[in-house]
Amino acid sequence: MFACTSLGPAGFPGIFDAEYPEKGSALRINLNEFSYRKGAEIFGEKEPADYVYQIATGAVRSYKLLSDGRRQIGAFHLAGDIFGLEIGTDHRFTAEAIVDTTVRLMKRRSLELVAQNDLMVARNLLSMTTNNLRHAEDHMLLLGRKTSLERVAAFLIEMDKRSTAAGILALPMCRRDIADYLGLTLETVSRALSRLHALGILAFIGNNQRQIVLRDRDKLASLDLQY
């Protein structure tokens, strides 16, 4: 699981690589930094996709809304992740900063022009899209067929795999975000976490309910049925 847009802070050579222009391409690639306050919208669904983003620090949620307000978060993006990459002209998600966030951004058009001449860049685009697809496919199984406890367990495992400090999670997002990612309500998420706490599988660090220690990752993994 967990392939998402994340390929780690290593980044993508040839895409978000500042040295790239010196390697032979005649194009200058913009690598501006930009910051967003907690809760700020980075781009909206159906807006033209002019830029591609990479998170320097912070965290981002990307989601779709139904007209009556129901929300489905498709992915969380953490430090190092690239998001906002579209092959069509428009964004298919709204992206919001979960906490104060700094992103590097480049013009999509520059990327396209490079990709037209550079097969490695083109392959990286395909690779990123494929990773997003794999994540979406796994998430469909979760949303369509898993119980609430399985979903929360899968979420924790996913976050743990992305975390640098294995076994310790510092979640940037609130319970409602987790719920909208897992297709649940925030109360159900809270109850599932409480159950995992009661089972001794996880513990909270201090009084901060967003800092979690995974005490028994094997038992946690056994709660999320694999396929």
Partner DNA sequence: CGGGGGCTTGAGGCCACTCAACGATAGTGG
Partner DNA sequence: CCACTATCGTTGAGTGGCCTCAAGCCCCCG
Q: Which two tokens stand for residue 110?
A: 């520059």
CA atoms in the 13 A half-sphere facing the CB of 213: 7
Reported in sequence order, the residue ranges of 9-167 that DSSP labels E, i.e. its strands, are: 32-36, 41-43, 51-57, 60-65, 71-77, 82-83, 94-97, 101-107
Distance CA 92, CA 223 (A): 32
175-194: which residues touch its own copies (CB under 8 A)?
180, 182-183
Task: Name the binder of 194 from DNA, its own copies, none, CB < 5-8 A by kind.
Answer: DNA
- Of the two residues 42 and 106, which places its CB atom closer to DNA in the complex? 42
Q: How far apart are CA 21 and CA 44, in angstroms?
A: 30
Q: Does 136 bind its own copies (CB under 8 A)?
A: yes
Site string for DNA, 148-167 (x = CB under 7 A): xx------------------
218 binds its own copies (CB under 8 A): no
- What tokens were used for 3? 């392939």
Stretch that binds DNA, among 26-34, 57-65, 81-89, 180-188 (CB under 7 A): 180-188
Q: Per CB under 7 A, does 211 bind DNA?
A: no
CB of 4 to DNA, least distance (A): 21
Is 99 or 113 the residue whose CB approaches its own copies more closely?
A: 113
Quote the CA–CA distance of 47 and 65 in Å, as a whole number: 14
Instruction: Tell me, residue by residue from 20 to 59, as one string, x for binding to DNA by CB under 7 A and - for no binding.
Output: ----------------------------------------
Do 166 and 159 touch, CB atoms closer than 8 A?
no
What residues contact 53, with CB distance under 8 A and at least 6 apart? 42, 60, 82, 83, 84, 95, 103, 104, 105
| Interface with its own copies, residue 92, by CB under 8 A | yes
Q: Which residues bind DNA (CB under 7 A)?
A: 147-149, 174-176, 183-191, 193-194, 204, 207, 209-210
